[in-house]
């Protein structure tokens, strides 16, 4: 579909070893990095981080907080459509989805895109994303809303919260 990311052998740890300067919260505001990665579109999922290059890049600003009260259900299809339209453009764009720590809000928005446009269950999308970005960790509130989004997309829930928690427990046991 022309939407597959380039995957570095060795995963995030290999990427971090080669490009530690790209693995910081400041990446979204460093134009040299943005230019070198050929980023054309940015989903800014922060409540207090301004769009760094509004005259150069196309932004979707979603003022989201990483807490138990944040309602994501309206933001999920907005972000998903924005990412998809950027990737489907001619020439295809490159999208950076960012929040403050790169763990919860950005992961939740990316998972929604994978569910909607790849037609993956939440569990499959979460496994895929964690394999590529080990720090992926949407908060429990966001996971519940992603389960609701999965049901809206597919007509029924394909994943349960227990599936996700068992997956995380299995992952922790492998690391020990």
Give CA–CA dist 25/169, Å, rounded: 28
Give CA–CA dist 70/62, Å, rounded: 12
Which residues does 41 contact at the CB level (< 8 Å), separation at least 6? 57, 58, 59, 60, 82, 83, 86, 93, 94, 95, 96
Any idea what DSSP says for residue 100? S
Catalytic residue (choose from 49, 58, 63, 99): 99
Q: Is 24 left (phi over 0), alpha (psi -120 to 50) or beta?
A: beta
Establish whether 49 is a catalytic residue: no
Give CA–CA dist 48/29, Å, rounded: 13
Residues labelled as active-site residues: 99
């Amino acid at each position: 579909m022309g939407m597959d990311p380039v995957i570095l052998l060795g995963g995030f740890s290999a990427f971090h070893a080669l490009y530690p300067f790209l693995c910081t919260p400041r990446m979204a505001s460093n134009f040299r990095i943005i230019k070198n990665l050929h980023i054309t579109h940015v989903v800014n999922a922060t409540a207090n981080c301004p769009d760094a290059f509004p005259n150069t890049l196309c932004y979707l600003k979603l003022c989201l907080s990483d807490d138990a009260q944040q309602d994501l259900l309206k933001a999920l299809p907005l972000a998903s459509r924005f990412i998809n339209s950027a990737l489907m453009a001619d020439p295809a764009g490159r999208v950076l989805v960012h929040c403050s720590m790169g763990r919860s809000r950005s992961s939740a928005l990316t998972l929604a895109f994978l569910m909607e446009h790849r037609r993956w269950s939440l569990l499959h999308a979460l496994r895929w994303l964690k394999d590529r970005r080990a720090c992926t960790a949407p908060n429990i509130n966001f996971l519940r809303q992603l389960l609701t989004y999965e049901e809206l997309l597919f007509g029924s829930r394909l994943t349960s919260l227990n599936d996700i928690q068992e997956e995380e427990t299995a992952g922790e046991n492998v690391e020990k």
